[in-house]
Chain A
Amino acid sequence: MRIVKIRTRVNGKDIQSEVEPRELLVHFLRENLGLTGVHIGCDTSNCGACTVLVDGKAVKSCTMLAVQVDGREVTTIEGISKNDELHPLQKAFLEKHGLQCGYCTSGMILTSYWLLKNNKNPTEEEIRKNLSGNLCRCTGYQSIIESVKYGAQLMMKEKEKEEQQIEVR
């Protein structure tokens, strides 16, 4: 089997690696880099458990080849907290019980992360629509929707705080 060299940036770290052309991104992240927060739930890109950010955009890493992230930047659930401080969305999912078994959680958080990047204060309907590529079998989604709403609030508060600090300086 031919081996291809790729250079990519994963969770802020430069990575050089050798992969088979057929290797899926999700397997590259899990097996080669040990980022097991990325999960596999289906074979058909329906469930979203494998969601990661590629160049800031939420993608399903089971539908992308590792070679396709050559020269690009990947963020996984392991990469969204800063210095052990949980990201507001992570805090929100914990506090609002936005999970039960925990298997869909990283995908849910990363899809929500991308949603909130583009829409700081989404309506419930917008959240439901945007999360419809991520399946949860445990929660009935209600607590997940609450978590995203709460996460949005926390992020807005954080932003305000940052802006105030800049003014003070």
Chain B
Amino acid sequence: MPTINWNDRELEYDSSRFVKGTGHFVDDIKIQGMLFMTVLRSPYARARIISLKGGISSKDLGAKIASVGEGASEGEASSVEPIFASGFVNYVGQPVAAVFAEDRYKSEDLLDSVEVDYEPLKPVVTIDEALSSPPIHKGMKSNILSEAVKGQDFSDPSSPIVLEDTLENNRISTNPIEPRGLVASFEGGVLNVWASTQAVHSVKNGLAETLGLSKDKVRVMQADTGGAFGSKGGIYPEYAIASFASMKYGKPVKWIETRREHLTSTNPGRGVRGKMKIFSEKNGKITGMKGEIMVDAGAYGSGSGGFSVPFIESMMTGAYAIEKAFVTGKALLTNKVPQGPYRGAGRPEASFFIERMLDLLADEMKMDPADVRLLNMSDKPFNSPLGMKIDAARPFFETAVRELEYRREAKLAKGVGLSFFVLVPGTYTGESARMIVKDGKIGVWLGGNSHGQGHETFIRKLINEELDVSKELVTVYRGDTSVTKDGEGAWGSRSAILIGAAIVAICKKLRTEVEKEFGSYSSESLLSRDHDEYVFDEKPFSLTSFGANLATVEIGRFGNVRVKKCNAYYDVGRALNREMVLGQIHGGMAQGIGQTLHEGLFYSEDGQLITSSISDAGVPLAEDLPNFGVKIAENRSSLPHGAKGLGEAPTIGVPTALIRAVEKASGKRLRKTPVMPEDLIA
């Protein structure tokens, strides 16, 4: 490996390093002669660039960004994001030019050397403005990026109860504590990139496609990655700029995002509105649902706006056996940073829409929300009219109500909320793994890259179970595209399922090989020879799981909500490592509380981002949160290792339980996250 002095041991996943301060994050890379890149960004939501002088800009690199990674979809040509703004800027924070110097201070100083004249234009900021305004991009007929329909349309039945409401999840910044960053170094005809990422292959494919390089001339390696939550799954303009500059200057180039840049220019999640209509019998049984969703896709189709629409639609009957459903949806272009996946990526939105309607129905019927839910569940597997396959919901929910002691809680306090959901993991296209047995040890590389979830712990456990090799002999290395031929990424609650399956598949292959050669299997025989196995486990399967949450709150006189209890009962399949499972759930619950009560990105009428710090963006503090109560059900999946999805469960289930608790405590119907104190006392 050129230019970097990390040794083999330093490429392992090893969390013990972090308590000593000896991790290897991308900003820790220091290479002789390295340049530091700073990006000049648009100060306007929409403007024409009259003139531009200085730095590297669209005249040097006119390419558009390849759409890769989680939820990537090809947009119409005119809505694909250029690497550098060209002719027009379309969101605050859009890259316009880049400058380079030997350190970050000098590099920032150089920003003054770039001169840009803009002619500000009236921006399209909201979903409603997007619907009523002329297109923001030339060559398009409207601001509709994409449209999708799910289910069969039906004429409104003459139901005794018809309820309608409009519900919304505001945009949220993903805010991993380590911002985005990369180091690019072009040497010997190969572009080497170290990145903070969930998916080395997406970054590789994206850079190759964007810069017109052949895929075997790009190598992407994962640095220790300080959180991601969806935002580090693909490539961004800065990655292409830094790579281009390393080729142009013949020097390594480092780019590290500031938090302010993260807020303006990293794809945020959510930003979805749903108009819901449900039809119910007199007893509270829902017979039909109609929905219309609007996704605020931001300025370009390079995010996940287009993908979001059909994905959200498919989950909009939730865990309920609703026989008739029809949903239409649009992703709309606005002058804001493109939308992307954030932990849950469509699942929380879909669940928010249907769960808020179930609570509304309970209030209308003067029934307990748990009973309305029970009434609308099946005790058999159910194929929804929107295309989702779920297991029998009722037995799980009945247990959940007991385990969460909901009935007791509901008697004790006013502000109590209960939610139920189905988690659909993103198993699409599977995942790769490679195992090399050499010198009596096993090395493992993955196509989807851990960034704090602790993949190494369950991999060691599975290898120990399958091959009887002790955990100390197994090393799991960070992602490197030169080692795995292909791969997807760590997102969508998929890793324990897919990486687990890939590891088990390799282990079975190795066992057979050893048996063939030695007559019978033993770990000594395995470790006595060199082996090298790669699989890309492509089994397409649907592996949904259920979960329920309970929340209780108190509201202070200024509308400040105190979360008293936030509890979960989730089916995680076989828990491969209990501590890691609890860690994932606790972290996700904090984000669920964040979305409901604290977090959001807010824009002014002229498209300026008003949210100016990580504190403004509402990332919860230790003192904002309660002690979480988590119970897990371990209903094994059909996979050999029994795992199910997990990571996104809490961001689906917590907001819906919590907003109901706040609704009950305040007596006000709540339709939007985040719920602000002023919503509760006005």
Contact = CB atoms under 8 A, between A and B. Distances in A.
Contacts of A138: 227, 452, 583, 587
B613 A46 contact: yes
Contact of A35 (B21, B179, B224, B615): B21
B428 interface: no
Contacts of B227: 100-101, 103, 137-138
A27 B104 contact: yes
Contact of B20 (A40, A77, A124): A77
A37 B623 contact: no
A56 B390 CA distance: 56
A94 B19 contact: yes
A11 B23 CA distance: 18
Nearest to B454: A100
B587 A140 contact: yes
A4 B622 CA distance: 39
A137 B583 contact: no
B25 interface: yes
B225 A101 contact: yes
Given A99-B15, A102-B224, A103-B176, A137 B20 contact: no
Contact of A77 (B21, B256, B586, B614): B21
Interface in A124-153: 124, 127-129, 131-132, 134-145
Interface string A82-121: 0000100011011001011111111001000000000000
A128 B621 CA distance: 8
Nearest to B451: A101
A38 B21 contact: yes
B120 interface: no
Nearest to A129: B623
A169 to B, nearest CB: 31
A17 interface: no
Given A43-B259, A137-B587, A138-B227, A36 B18 contact: no
Interface string B65-106: 000000000000000000000000000000000000001110
B20 A78 contact: yes
Contacts of B628: 140, 142
A1 B398 CA distance: 70
Contact of B583 (A20, A90, A97): A97
B18 A105 contact: yes
A44 B105 contact: no
B21 A76 contact: yes
Contact of B175 (A23, A93, A128, A137): A137
Interface in A9-49: 20, 22-23, 27, 30-31, 34-44, 46-47, 49
Interface in B17-46: 17-23, 25, 27-28, 30
A23 B580 CA distance: 39
A86 B613 contact: no
A45 to B, nearest CB: 9
Interface in B600-629: 612-615, 619, 621-623, 625, 627-628
B226 interface: yes
B136 interface: no
B614 A135 contact: yes
Given A39-B178, A101-B177, A135-B619, A44 B23 contact: no
Residue from A39, A90, A109 having most chain B Cβ neighbours under 10 A = A39
A81 interface: yes
Contact of B259 (A31, A37, A42, A137): A42
B258 interface: yes
B289 to A, nearest CB: 33
A56 to B, nearest CB: 18
Nearest to A124: B627
Contacts of A100: 15, 227, 452-454, 583, 587
B331 to A, nearest CB: 27
Given A102-B452, A106-B18, A132-B622, A139 B105 contact: no
User: How many B residues touch the partner, as a band?
Assistant: 35 or more
B482 to A, nearest CB: 24
Nearest to B29: A36
B407 interface: no
A139 B178 contact: no
B352 interface: no
Contact of A41 (B582, B612, B614): B614
Contact of B615 (A46, A104, A105, A109): A46
B260 interface: yes
Given A42-B259, A43-B260, A94-B16, A136 B177 contact: yes
Nearest to B579: A97
A40 B25 CA distance: 11
Given A46-B615, A49-B177, A101-B178, A144 B20 contact: no
A39 B583 contact: no
Which of B17, B226, B579, B614 has the largest count of A CB atoms less than 10 A from its CB? B226
B420 interface: no
A150 to B, nearest CB: 13
B22 A41 contact: no
A88 to B, nearest CB: 11
A140 to B, nearest CB: 3
B323 to A, nearest CB: 38
Given A39-B25, A90-B20, A103 B105 contact: no
Interface string B214-241: 0000000000111101000000000000
Contacts of B587: 100, 137-140
Interface in A51-98: 76-78, 81, 86, 90-91, 93-94, 97
A141 B594 CA distance: 13
Given A100-B453, A101-B451, A128-B622, A139 B20 contact: no
B15 A86 contact: no
Given A77-B20, A94-B16, A143 B586 contact: yes
Contacts of A131: 621-623
Nearest to B566: A140
B590 interface: yes
Contact of A127 (B15, B19, B579, B622): B622
A43 B617 CA distance: 13
A142 B588 CA distance: 12
Interface string B333-357: 0000000000000000000000000
A93 B259 contact: no
Contacts of B619: 135, 137
Given A36-B28, A131-B622, A142 B627 contact: yes
A37 B27 contact: no
Contacts of A145: 622, 627
Given A36-B25, A106-B18, A131-B623, 17 more contacts: A20-B105, A30-B28, A35-B21, A36-B27, A37-B21, A44-B615, A86-B20, A100-B454, A101-B451, A103-B23, A103-B176, A104-B226, A128-B623, A137-B176, A138-B227, A140-B587, A141-B622
Interface of A: 20, 22-23, 27, 30-31, 34-44, 46-47, 49, 76-78, 81, 86, 90-91, 93-94, 97, 99-106, 109, 124, 127-129, 131-132, 134-145
Which 6 A/B pairs are nearest by Cβ-Cβ distance?
A: A37-B21, A102-B18, A103-B226, A101-B452, A77-B21, A140-B590
14 contacts: A27-B105, A37-B21, A41-B178, A43-B258, A44-B259, A86-B19, A86-B20, A100-B583, A102-B23, A105-B18, A135-B614, A138-B587, A139-B586, A140-B591
